[in-house]
């Protein structure tokens, strides 16, 4: 098992199959890579776990500073490919980002998760995350 940062277009493209399981609206590698590159300009970072040279799990996050929470890490994406679930990859990636957050003097780590993603909820709660707010959305257009 190896964790690495995905920075280049080719490295990002290698993670497309994993991200597609969580973000099916990103229908082509080109759209996906363009979106990640745009987000990287805003500080988004992606780490991946590889097994046998293939990406099996990814985490994407960014640093934010807010009035409510101060300096935090916000996790946008955490994915383990369906065939690779149950191997602890989510915990490994969460631990990796939590370590980065501590090293960067963040107060907290935040994430949103779909309300029907019960298996993910168990992982987050077991890691010490607390359910403490509702995330609301207003579609514009």
Q: What is the pLDDT of residues 57-111, one digit of tens each?
A: 999 999 999 999 999 999 999 999 999 998 999 999 999 999 999 999 999 999 9
Q: Supply the pLDDT for residue 120.
A: 84
Tell me, yes or no, whether 52 lies in a domain: yes
Within a domain: 94: yes
With a cut of 90, say whether residue 115 has pLDDT above it.
no
Number of domains in the chain: 1
Task: Assess if residue 56 is contained within a domain.
Answer: yes
User: At 136, is the pLDDT very low, low, confident or very high (cuts 50, 70, 90)?
Assistant: confident
The whole-number pLDDT of residue 134 equals 83
Identify the domain containing residue 30 by its residue range.
Answer: 2-111
Q: What is the CATH classification number for the domain harbouring 49?
A: 3.40.630.30
On whether residue 132 sits in a domain, the answer given is: no
- Residue 137 domain-assigned (yes or no): no
Q: Reduced to 3 states, what is the DSSP secondary structure of residue 72?
A: strand
């Amino acid at each position: 098992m190896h964790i690495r940062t995905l920075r280049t277009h080719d490295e990002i493209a290698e993670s497309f199959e994993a991200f597609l399981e969580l973000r099916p609206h990103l229908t082509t590698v080109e759209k996906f890579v363009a979106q990640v590159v745009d987000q990287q300009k805003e500080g988004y970072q992606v780490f991946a776990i590889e097994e046998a040279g293939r990406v099996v799990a990814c985490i994407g996050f960014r640093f934010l500073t807010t009035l409510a929470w101060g300096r935090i890490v916000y996790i946008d994406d955490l994915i383990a490919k369906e065939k690779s679930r149950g191997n602890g990859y989510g915990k490994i990636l969460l631990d990796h980002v939590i370590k980065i957050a501590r090293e960067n003097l963040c107060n907290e780590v935040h994430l949103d998760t779909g309300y029907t993603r019960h298996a993910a909820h168990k992982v987050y709660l077991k890691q010490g995350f607390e359910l403490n707010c509702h995330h609301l959305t207003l579609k514009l257009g």
